[in-house]
Amino acid sequence: MRIVTLDGPGGAILRRRARPVGRLTPEVVRLMDEMVEVMRRASGVGLAAPQVGYSLRVIVVEYDNKLYQLVDPEITSREGEEVAQEGCLSLPGILCDVRRATRVTVRGKNRRGRTVTVRADGWLARIFQHEVDHLDGILITDRVESPADIHYVDRERAVGEVVG
């Protein structure tokens, strides 16, 4: 399993709305586990299934020593607002200044198929918004308010600030 980049083979998947999963299967649970490994190897904090070539509404997020694996996630509420810099594993070498909510509530199914609700603040809220955007075919470059908010950097420098 590899990370799909916008300019690489299969990059068009990043621009499509991912399909709902519905009923959880062992294959989807296996996909989530593999996504966690890929995310960790890439030093990311989040990853969406389209980023590894699967048009499914599945995300994994790991922040502050807590792992979230969600199927069919949706953001049900947003509060506050701030601009901060984000990177993306599918857009290596690019950092963008992106306006996002500072608090979100996310609802989805966990790896056991149970509906869960996550309330997230700050950076964790930003990560969830970034990953759910991937499920809708939205990239950080789509969220900038001005072309000046897109910063091109070398890939090594961008690694520490990559969301997913």
3-state SS, residue 88: coil
Buried b (16+ CB within 10 A) or exposed e, 35-70: bbebbeebebbbbbbbbbebebbbbbbbbeeeebbb
Q: From CA 35, how far away is CA 2, in angstroms rounded? A: 9
Structure tokens at 140: 């950080």
| Dihedrals phi, psi of 130, to nearest 5 degrees | -60, -45
131 is catalytic: yes
Of the listed 131, 145, 156, 161, which one is catalytic? 131
- The residues annotated with a catalytic role in the active site are 131
